[in-house]
């Protein structure tokens, strides 16, 4: 079984809207590889697994964006002071 057997086209489109900062299809491929690489860690609720994975990826993307904004602001402030 793959995550693509569980995720419908409509769900993927909805997740694309909800998790706009990440490549949902790319994350689904990563999940699928993880599932195949970890057969002993079988999931009972694949939908929950998918949504949790996507939410974590979204949080990580938001954190990266926030760090970049802060770095840019620090650089701007530093340049202004010189």
Cα torsion angle, 28, 47, 57, 8, sign: positive
Question: d(Cα 1, Cα 66) in Å, to the nearest integer?
Answer: 36
For the segment 3-53, what is each residue's pLDDT rounded down to a tens digit? 989 999 999 999 999 999 999 999 999 999 999 999 999 889 999 999 999
Query: What is the Cα–Cα distance from 64 to 20, expressed in whole angstroms?
Result: 14
Residues 15 and 54: beta-carbon distance below 8 Å: yes
Instruction: Reduce the DSSP state of residue 58 to 3 states and report it.
Output: helix
Number of domains composing the chain = 1
pTM: 0.80
In terms of residues, how long is the chain? 82
Residue 7: domain span? 3-81
């Amino acid at each position: 079984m793959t995550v693509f057997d569980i995720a419908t086209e409509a769900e993927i489109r909805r997740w694309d809207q909800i998790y706009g900062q990440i490549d949902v299809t790319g994350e689904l491929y990563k999940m699928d590889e993880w599932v195949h690489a970890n057969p002993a860690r079988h999931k009972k609720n694949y939908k929950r697994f998918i949504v949790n994975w996507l939410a974590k990826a979204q949080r990580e993307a938001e954190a990266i964006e926030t760090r970049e904004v802060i770095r840019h602001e620090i650089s701007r402030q530093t340049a202004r002071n010189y």
